[in-house]
Amino acid sequence: MLRDLLSSRWFQGGFAFFVLCVGGSLLYSWHVHRTIDAEFGKRPQPVVSPLKNKTETNTAPVDFQTEGVTNTPNETTDTQKPETTEEETIDETENLDIADAFLADDVGTAEEDRADFPEVPEGFPMTPVWADDRFPNYQKGDMQDHETISRVLIKLWNQGDHDFVNGVLDYNNGRVYPLYPDTLYVTWKEEVVDSPDGPRIIRYPGSGLGTHDRNFTLEERYLYGVEASYPDVNFVDKHTAGYDPETFLTDDKK
């Protein structure tokens, strides 16, 4: 009977299927472990921004170093030092020379950046990033967008415009818009709507930015128009306003 069972096609087919399943599982497990080892083995160490002074625990893989400080073993710790060949000593010396060269360049760059920043005028309502105590090691370009806004607003202030309360950079067109109280920069849209007096063309803001935080109702937008509903708000066409930083900051006539 055992011979009949072993010679049965159903038994042989089932045994072959079992072997294939086990072999496939082992092969897949080996592939997964190999992929994970390759992925995490080649992962670069994260770079910590010098602008961030975080106190919370960092769970990313780091070399237990802080800015400007390299942790070294305690003097009382008996540490086994590997033997160093002459070739390794030469390589370490070359690496130190290269590091010193980069540090010297960084110091020079920081001093040049400080000289390049415009002076913050008295009474200026904001603190530029390069003058902010939270960023003592700030260098030119670290926070390019905020730096650009501050440069434009400082020039406007020096030209006599002291009415703005802040500024914003529009990523869609790259222009800087000074923000004024009760002022909205809007992109106008037009639509024909029915009204008690018949069809009429209503102009309404499709999008906007500014300091005015009211939400316009559908009735205000489509029936009466926001300009008529809010006469105290200054609606400014976004396409004709704002400043192109590259042009504005380099043009001495502006």
The DSSP string of 85-121 is -HHHHHHHHHHHHHHHHHHHHHHHHHHHHHHHSPPPP
Q: Please check whether residue 202 is in contact with residue 223, taking contact to mean a CB–CB distance below 8 angstroms.
A: yes
Q: Which amino acid is at 138?
A: Y
pLDDT at 207 > cutoff 60: yes
Model confidence pLDDT, tens digit, residues 61-83:
323 222 332 222 333 333 333 45
- The pTM of the full predicted model, rounded to 2 decimals, is 0.52
Q: What is the mean pLDDT of residues 156-185?
A: 92
Q: What is the mean pLDDT of residues 41-59?
A: 35
Q: Using DSSP bridges, classify how beta strands 234-237 and 183-193 pair: parallel, antiparallel or unpaired.
A: parallel
Residues 6+ apart with CB under 8 A from 249: 151, 152, 155
- In angstroms, the CA 94 to CA 80 distance is 24
Q: Grade residue 200 by pLDDT with cuts at 50, 70 and 90.
A: confident
Q: What pLDDT sits at residue 220?
A: 57
Average pLDDT across the chain, whole number: 68
- In angstroms, the CA 182 to CA 248 distance is 25
Model confidence pLDDT, tens digit, residues 15-48:
777 777 777 667 666 654 554 444 334 433 332 2
Q: What angle do CA 171, 140, 241 make, to 5 degrees?
A: 30
Q: What is the mean pLDDT of residues 115-132?
A: 89
Q: Grade residue 198 by pLDDT with cuts at 50, 70 and 90.
A: confident
Q: Grade residue 249 by pLDDT with cuts at 50, 70 and 90.
A: very high
